[in-house]
Amino acid sequence: MRNITLSRFLIEEEREKQVICADLRFLVEIVSRACKAISVSIGKGALAGVLGSAGSDNVQGEVQKKLDVISNDILLEANEWGGHLAAMASEEMEHPHQIPHRYPKGEYLLLFDPLDGSSNIDINVSVGTIFSVLRCPEGVEPNEQAFLQPGVKQVCAGYAVYGPTTLLVLTVGDGVHIFTLDREMGHFVLTQSNVTIPADTREYAINASNARHWEPAVKRYIDELQAGKEGARGADFNMRWVASMVADVHRIISRGGIFLYPRDKRDPSKPGKLRLMYEANPMAMLIEQAGGMATDGRQRILDIQPTELHQRVAVILGSKNEVERVTSYHSS
């Protein structure tokens, strides 16, 4: 592959393909710069004193890690001054973050989970940043209401995964492209273009410790997979669960698979664990752009009309034929 940096890729998407405008190009550049800074902090770990709890809870009542707070601050600061955003929303903040008056405002809304995979932060396992970009409706104040748009309205989505290498996986609605951080040069380089997910897979990801709480459709589906060659599917399936959505989704983007964080019966007010606006929607856009499928068991994730910024949703995504099958079990 030619040595195409993220900057060059974005310029070509703008100039030759005209799929993005200058403001969106700038936005992606800024987010990618923030991801580099987060990657540096994570890379220093204990040497920089960034591991451990921050001693606070976020809006969802979850304990914040120091790196959750650091990553959130990095993203906010990087994106405030450029004039490309109307407002931002984050897993770590109850309400949207407004652009300070001293800076110009732009037309985009940026949503993010600054550091996904909380339980893996302190144990040197891959974590990541997930982001989603929407347009602020014209003439509308960028308050919480402005963010409540279904995932089909996303103009861009992506994630960075901080693993053995730092990757940026991106879509602007023109396929899925993977960039690898060249740490010496300090920039992202295109290493895989137009990624596609195979429609069939023999690999699944689910937190099986929740099995007793699952709905019958998911229980039936997983039972069939676990029955292997001798069961209804007539084939053996393998299981992987990193417990960082970015890492589990990245495996699926790389070689196929199905990921489930289904609705369970514990708390009817929480349909699933993952958040719609800054976890499920951007991942669903990427998965669909790569030829996969994403549903909540009942409907396409990207069609869900959100009612709350931090709303939770069941997530089933990945290789098309498997997602279709388990989704059909929900209606039968």
Which residues are at the interface with ligand AHM (CB under 6 A)? 62, 91, 113, 116-119, 207, 243-245, 248, 261, 273
145 backbone dihedrals φ, ψ, rounded to 5°:
-55, -40
Question: 201 or 244, CB closer to Mg ion?
Answer: 244
Q: Could you tell which of ligand AHM, Mg ion, none binds residue 323, using a CB distance below 5 to 8 A set by kind? A: none
Task: Supply the minimum distance, in Å, between the C-beta of residue 320 and ligand AHM.
Answer: 21
3-state helix vs strand vs coil in the chain, percent to 5: 40, 25, 35
Distances in whole angstroms, Cα of residue 125 to Cα of each of 50, 208, 242: 15, 20, 8
For 63, list phi and psi in degrees, rounded to 5: -65, 130
Which of residues 244 and 289 has its CB atom nearest to Mg ion in the complex? Answer: 244
Could you say which of Mg ion, ligand AHM, none residue 244 binds, taking C-beta under 5 to 8 angstroms by partner kind?
Answer: ligand AHM
User: Residue 170, class by beta-carbon neighbours within 10 Å (0-12 exposed, 13-18 middle, 19+ buried)?
Assistant: buried
Query: CB-based contacts of 279: which residues, under 8 Å, 6+ apart?
Result: 91, 113, 116, 130, 245, 315
User: Which of 116, 203, 248, 264 is the binder for Mg ion (CB under 5 A)?
Assistant: 116
Size of the residue set binding Mg ion (CB under 5 A): 2
Binding part of the chain for Mg ion, among 95-103, 108-116, 214-222, 258-266 by CB under 5 A, reads 108-116
Q: How far is the CB of 286 from ligand AHM (least distance, A)?
A: 15
Q: Is 92 in the site for Mg ion (CB under 5 A)?
A: no
Residue 146: alpha-carbon gap to chain centroid: 20
What's the CA gap between 245 and 25, in Å, rounded? 26
97 bridge partner residues = 88
Nearer to ligand AHM, 61 or 164 (CB): 61
- Burial category of 53 from C-beta neighbours within 10 Å (exposed 0-12, middle 13-18, buried 19 and up): middle
To Mg ion, the closest distance from the beta carbon of 161 in angstroms equals 13
Using an 8 Å Cβ cutoff, are 132 and 157 in contact?
yes
Residue 277 CB, nearest distance to Mg ion (Å)?
Answer: 11
In the bound complex, what is the minimum distance in angstroms from residue 315's beta carbon to ligand AHM? 8
Residue 203 contact among Mg ion, ligand AHM, none, beta carbon within 5 to 8 Å by kind? none
Binding site for Mg ion (CB under 5 A): 113, 116
